[in-house]
Amino acid sequence: MDISFEHVTHVYSPKTPFEKRALDDVSIHIPSGSFTSIIGHTGSGKSTLVQHINGILKPSNGTISIGDFVIKANEKKQNLKALREKVGFVFQYPEHQLFEETIIKDVCFGPMNFGVSDSEATKRAEESLKLVGLPSSFWHRSPFDLSGGQMRRVAIAGVLAIRPQAIILDEPTAGLDPRGREEILSLFKDLHKNLNMTIIMVTHNMSDAANYSDQVIVMDGGKPLMADTPQNVFAQAERLRKVGLDIPESMEFLKMLTEKTGERRTITAFTLDETADAIIDILNGGKEHV
């Protein structure tokens, strides 16, 4: 399911004093099976952008195609429900959407809405709860008795149980401790790898964007500024800084090190291991290390 935006503009509250142009002539492409991160300063249009992908917002102008679905501006009758079955959406603080008496019922809510039978929905719910790592002893308890991190995992299971082909994450790790963050992100990394799921993640964390994605889209003032591999995007520290963004800590460190040692190459490394290798490489003056 390739996703592409062609000249998409979105205006909030048009023709009122509160009018705001959140997306301005955006054309981007997200290939099927990719892990794409969308970064940008607050108010740069990241959330507005992703909300177009499953038809929650409609474009004021332009065309969006998601696989076989085409969403055009000013077109009323559209089969959004079928689209939403294909594209899952995990909102910011998704634990706020829980409402059922038991966890398992809440996870079944999504699939049942899309006309899946009771037994099939339960099967899917159990599967998804296993995927997010919630022990079965919890399944018949109320979701409101859980801790924040557990609630978030239940909410994510609720979206996974729909079995979408693509999934959108709007700051999935906001407010979680480092361990919870690691767990959630590796869950999506596995889904991406094993099920070839397309993942689109809005994030404020540059290291997460660098570590997990194979495409990074930088938004600024409602327009895409860059769309490239993390290596190429984070090599342009100055351009990112201009739009209020940082580079991952590892890159920051390597940049300072190369400046001190007079190294001319631009070295990109995001994980701990890569960074360590890069440091040894620099300290050896580019020679093979033993």
Provide the mask over 78-117, with x wherever binding to another protein is found by CB under 8 A and - wherever it is not. ---x--xx--xx-x--x-xxxx---------xx--xx---
- By beta-carbon proximity to another protein, the closer residue of 89 and 234 is 89
31 and 13 Cβ atoms separated by less than 8 Å: no
- DSSP letter, residue 96: G
Provide the mask over 4-43, with x wherever binding to another protein is found by CB under 8 A and - wherever it is not. ---------x--x-x-------------------------
Site for another protein contains 248 (CB under 8 A): no
- By beta-carbon proximity to another protein, the closer residue of 143 and 248 is 143
Q: Are strands 215-220 and 35-40 parallel, antiparallel or unpaired?
A: parallel
* Nearest CA among 258, 257, 250 for reference residue 275: 250
- By beta-carbon proximity to another protein, the closer residue of 53 and 184 is 53
- What are the residue ranges of helices labelled H in 115-147? 118-131
Q: How far is the CB of 79 from another protein (least distance, A)?
A: 12
Footprint (CB under 8 A) of another protein, residues 153-182: 158-159, 162
Q: How far is the CB of 49 from another protein (least distance, A)?
A: 15
188 and 106 Cβ atoms separated by less than 8 Å: no
Sign of CA dihedral 146, 54, 11, 34: positive
263 and 236 Cβ atoms separated by less than 8 Å: no
196 and 170 Cβ atoms separated by less than 8 Å: no
278 and 265 Cβ atoms separated by less than 8 Å: no
183 and 133 Cβ atoms separated by less than 8 Å: yes
Provide the mask over 118-157, with x wherever binding to another protein is found by CB under 8 A and - wherever it is not. --------------------------x-------------
- By beta-carbon proximity to another protein, the closer residue of 35 and 91 is 91
Contacts with another protein, residue ranges (CB under 8 A): 13, 16, 18, 51, 54, 56, 81, 84-85, 88-89, 91, 94, 96-99, 109-110, 113-114, 144, 158-159, 162
